[in-house]
Structures are given as structure tokens and as C-alpha cells.
């Protein structure tokens, strides 16, 4: 793991997980419920058939709800309004998001050692910006925030956000490292040719990442700081 970090000129962080618990004060299932309510109102206004399939009625994942509706009704009349509502909910959640332990010290340690830091996420970049401002972390990232656009086909595991971060930082893939907590993060890193470090504080999440092929997984970002500051062998 130390070699991964030493080799990285730019470290790319997923947002919800490695940097914070976005929905700590506003659970994700509540956000999913609000999206469902919003979809029902839109369907009534536009006199459309129901927008929610059976699986979307119970999903606790707001991204799953949004993408499921987008697949059923891909036009401009519904999806932009739902995405705007999800963005509002994410920005609101960023106001109560709980920072991941050791994330801020890791950002500081990377910056002190000349590494660039970027955020690559399926969340709205506006939510990332609010969280970073609230916790005084904006300077470590320097505007390198690459998040969801209206083209949902480019959400992770598509490598779009990773490729945008590499281009913006001028970093070749072989000199980047991505820290993520989901299999979709691993897929995006692989597709972009970027090394991957899994963050999984829970045993089951760690096993899921390893089963998907992640070679390096840590339970705490303190392990990354230790590897970063350790003297060469």
C-alpha cells in the first residue's frame, strides 16, 4: 500500500464514504422517499402513467430511484426535475454530513507532501462544495471536484469522473490512486487504468470489495496516513 501512495501524484477520493457520511443527519431512504413523492407529483401534473416500477417503490437508494425512473422515462419532461430535487436533497444533507475519521488529516498530509487531491463522485458537485466549505477543506482540493452531470450513463462505474479528474490535474493514470468504498468505484478506477485502494470500515464491505478484485483494502484512513508518513524502508 505504501508503494501505491508513494507513486501517486494525485489521489482521487470518492465523496460519500471516504470523505464523509453524507446522509448521517438525513437518511438516504428518506431522500429516496422524497424523490418518490416528487415523481408522483410530476406524473400527476403532466398526466403521465406511474413513473415508479415495483422495485423503485421500496428502494432505499435515491440514485437507484432516479436512474430507474430515467430508464423508464428518459425524456426532458421528468428527469431534469428529479435530478434537481436530488441535488437539493444532497446539498441539504451536506449541511449535516459527518466527516469520515482521519479524512481531513489525510488531505492535509497529502497536500503537505505535494500531492494533488481531487473528488470523483456520483453525487452533485454542489454537495461536495458545501461540505468542504463547512469543514475548511476547500483549499486541499482546489476546485478539483468532478461529480454527477445530467448524462447518467457516465456515472460510476463508468470512468468519466476519473478521466475528468486526471485531465484537470494533468496526471497520467499510472501516477494516480483512487480511494473508494464501493464496487462501482473499483470499476471506474479499473476502466481508467488507475490504482485502487478500498476503504471499508465494516467487515462485510471489505469482503465485498475483495471479492470484486480489490487487492488493497483498509478499515481506517489512519492506515493510509501511517503509510504516507512512514520513512522509506
Instruction: Give residue 30's pLDDT.
Output: 95
Give the residue among 176, 116, 171 at the shortest CA–CA distance from 143: 116
Bridge partners, residue 179, by sequence: 13, 197
Write the pLDDT tens digit of every residue in 34-93. 999 999 999 999 999 989 999 999 999 999 999 999 988 877 789 999 999 999 999 999
Average of pLDDT values for 189-209?
98
Instruction: Give residue 233's pLDDT.
Output: 64
- The secondary structure of residue 152, as a DSSP letter, is G
Q: How far is residue 212 CA from its own chain's centroid?
A: 18
Rg for the chain, CA atoms, rounded: 18
CA distances from 83 to 32, 36, 39, 187 (A): 12, 12, 11, 23
Q: What is the CATH number of domain 2-22+98-229?
A: 3.40.50.1000
State yes or no: pLDDT of 221 exceeds 90: yes
- pLDDT band of residue 1 (cuts 50, 70, 90) is confident
Instruction: Give residue 232's pLDDT.
Output: 73
State yes or no: pLDDT of 24 exceeds 70: yes
Write the pLDDT tens digit of every residue in 123-173. 999 999 999 999 999 999 999 999 999 899 999 999 999 999 999 999 999
Average of pLDDT values for 105-117?
97
Instruction: Give residue 217's pLDDT.
Output: 98
Instruction: Give residue 231's pLDDT.
Output: 78
Q: Which residues, including other chains, have CB under 8 Å from residue 23's CB and lie 6 or more apart? A: 16, 30, 31, 93, 97
CA distances from 211 to 17, 96, 191, 215 (A): 19, 33, 18, 9
Instruction: Give residue 76's pLDDT.
Output: 79
CA distances from 119 to 31, 49, 56, 138 (A): 22, 38, 29, 11
Q: Report the mean per-residue pLDDT for the chain.
A: 95
- pLDDT band of residue 230 (cuts 50, 70, 90) is confident
Q: Which DSSP helix (H) or strand (E) runs through 114?
A: none
Give the residue among 18, 23, 16 at the shortest CA–CA distance from 178: 18
Positive or negative: CA dihedral 150, 169, 108, 179: positive
Structural domain boundaries in the chain = 2-22+98-229, 28-94
Instruction: Give residue 120's pLDDT.
Output: 98
CA distances from 156 to 18, 21, 202 (A): 15, 18, 22
State yes or no: pLDDT of 211 exceeds 90: yes
Amino acid at each position: 500500500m505504501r508503494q501505491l501512495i508513494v507513486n501517486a501524484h494525485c489521489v482521487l477520493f470518492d465523496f460519500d464514504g471516504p470523505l464523509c457520511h453524507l446522509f448521517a443527519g438525513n437518511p438516504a431512504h428518506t431522500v429516496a422517499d422524497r424523490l418518490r413523492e416528487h415523481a408522483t407529483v410530476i406524473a400527476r401534473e403532466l398526466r403521465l402513467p406511474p413513473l415508479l416500477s415495483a422495485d423503485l417503490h421500496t428502494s432505499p437508494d435515491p440514485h437507484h430511484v432516479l436512474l430507474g425512473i430515467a430508464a423508464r422515462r428518459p425524456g426532458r419532461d421528468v428527469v431534469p426535475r428529479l435530478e434537481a430535487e436530488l441535488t437539493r436533497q444532497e446539498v441539504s444533507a451536506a449541511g449535516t454530513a459527518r466527516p469520515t475519521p482521519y479524512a481531513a488529516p489525510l488531505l492535509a498530509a497529502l497536500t503537505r507532501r505535494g500531492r494533488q487531491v481531487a473528488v470523483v463522485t456520483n453525487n452533485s458537485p454542489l454537495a461536495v462544495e458545501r461540505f468542504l466549505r463547512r469543514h475548511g477543506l476547500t483549499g486541499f482540493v482546489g476546485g478539483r471536484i468532478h461529480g454527477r452531470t445530467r448524462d447518467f450513463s457516465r456515472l460510476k462505474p463508468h470512468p468519466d469522473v476519473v478521466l475528468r479528474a486526471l485531465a484537470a490535474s494533468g496526471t497520467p493514470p499510472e501516477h494516480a490512486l483512487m480511494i473508494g468504498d464501493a464496487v462501482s468505484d473499483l470499476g471506474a478506477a479499473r476502466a481508467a487504468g488507475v490504482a485502487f485502494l478500498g476503504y471499508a470500515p465494516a467487515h462485510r464491505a471489505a469482503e465485498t470489495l475483495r471479492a470484486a478484485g480489490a487487492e488493497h483494502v483498509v478499515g481506517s484512513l489512519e492506515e493510509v496516513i501511517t503509510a504516507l508518513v512512514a520513512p522509506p524502508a
